[in-house]
Amino acid sequence: MLQFENMLFTIVILLYFAAMLLYFVYIAVKKDSLAKAAVVLQAAGLVLHTAALVCRGIGAGRLPMTNQYEFATSFAWGLCLVSLIFILRFKFPMLGAFAAPVILLIIGYAAMQSRAVRELMPALRSSWLGFHVSTAIIAYGAFGVSFVLSVIFLLRDRMQDQSFWDKRVPSREKLDLISYRSVSLGLLFLTFTIVTGAIWAEQAWGSYWSWDPKETWSLITWLIYAVFLHLRIRRGWKGKAAAIFAVVGFICVIFTYIGVNTFLPGIHSYA
């Protein structure tokens, strides 16, 4: 089963890479049918990615969400899923062109990690694992989409051939609202992650909050996005400033995921 997962994982990388190339060609030749094909490829990649995760879960006999490789591949899966939902919901395939490189970067990071299946330490043997990590995957995916949307927002007016971009990229106002929607989704799920993590920590470690670096940085990420929402709602801080804030927020997300594990070891060090 794990060999099958390895094979699927390789195919998934190739599919995401092909989707990215197709998105780029779409921008270069400005042919909308290519965008549709790229979305189909991305969706096919997502289906096989799901299958790869299921295979790993069956092969490992547990949820595939416990080490750097498993979380990285799940993070890429979450970003792919949320970006596809936003592409279809808002009829916005251009989003895929900017999301695909980020997905590839994350899955590339996963490919560099050890894929060995290790047995779970007792603290991880809990039914809260699924709730805690799966909500984090959706939260990170949604924040990833808000990052991508913010990059599009910031680049939108710098693009040559404005008529092409005007037709295929939503107005600044709509882009800003879509980004707000993705931050909303991310913040809601990040809150779920923190709450479920606290309940689990109380059972496993006897304390629902220990100021562990991972916990602390999740809180920092939460605070940053809370500031983002306050400024946006109360002060009408929309547009460019909000886009820059969303980029900073995603840098925090990445630091919480990779930076904390690398520089600030704590009781979450296995994750």
In angstroms, what is the minimal distance from the CB of 67 to other proteins? 14
DSSP-assigned states of every residue in 141-180 = HHHHHHHHHHHHHHHHTT-SSHHHHHHHS--HHHHHHHHH
Tokens in use for 126? 């809990």
In angstroms, what is the minimal distance from the CB of 106 to other proteins? 23
In angstroms, what is the minimal distance from the CB of 123 to other proteins? 6
Query: Cβ contacts of residue 271 below 8 Å, gap of 6+?
Result: 66, 67, 68, 71, 214, 261
Given the complex with other proteins, which of 45 and 197 has the nearer CB atom? 197
Contacting residue, 93, 96, 141, 213, with other proteins by CB under 8 A: 213
Q: Rounded to whole angstroms, how far apart are CA atoms 34 and 94?
A: 11
Applying the rule CB under 8 A, the residues between 220 and 259 that interact with other proteins are 220, 223-224, 226-227, 230-231, 234-235
DSSP-assigned states of every residue in 24-50 = HHHHHHT-HHHHHHHHHHHHHHHHHHH
131 binds other proteins (CB under 8 A): no
Contacting residue, 11, 51, 104, 219, with other proteins by CB under 8 A: 219
Burial of residue 183, with CB atoms counted within 10 A of its CB: 0-12 exposed, 13-18 middle, 19 or more buried: buried
Contact pattern for other proteins over residues 170 through 199, marking x by CB under 8 A: -x-xx--xx--x--xx-xx--xx-xx--xx
Contact pattern for other proteins over residues 58 through 77, marking x by CB under 8 A: --------------------
Given the complex with other proteins, which of 112 and 211 has the nearer CB atom? 211
In angstroms, what is the minimal distance from the CB of 228 to other proteins? 10
208 binds other proteins (CB under 8 A): yes
Provide the 3-class DSSP secondary structure of residue 271: coil
116 binds other proteins (CB under 8 A): no
Beta carbons within 10 angstroms of residue 64's beta carbon: 22
Q: Rounded to whole angstroms, how far apart are CA atoms 219 and 103?
A: 24
Q: Rounded to whole angstroms, how far apart are CA atoms 142 and 59?
A: 28
Total residues in contact with other proteins, by rule CB under 8 A: 48
Where along the sequence are the contacts to other proteins (CB under 8 A)?
Answer: 118-119, 121-123, 125-126, 171, 173-174, 177-178, 181, 184-185, 187-188, 191-192, 194-195, 198-200, 202-209, 211, 213, 216-217, 219-220, 223-224, 226-227, 230-231, 234-235, 260, 264
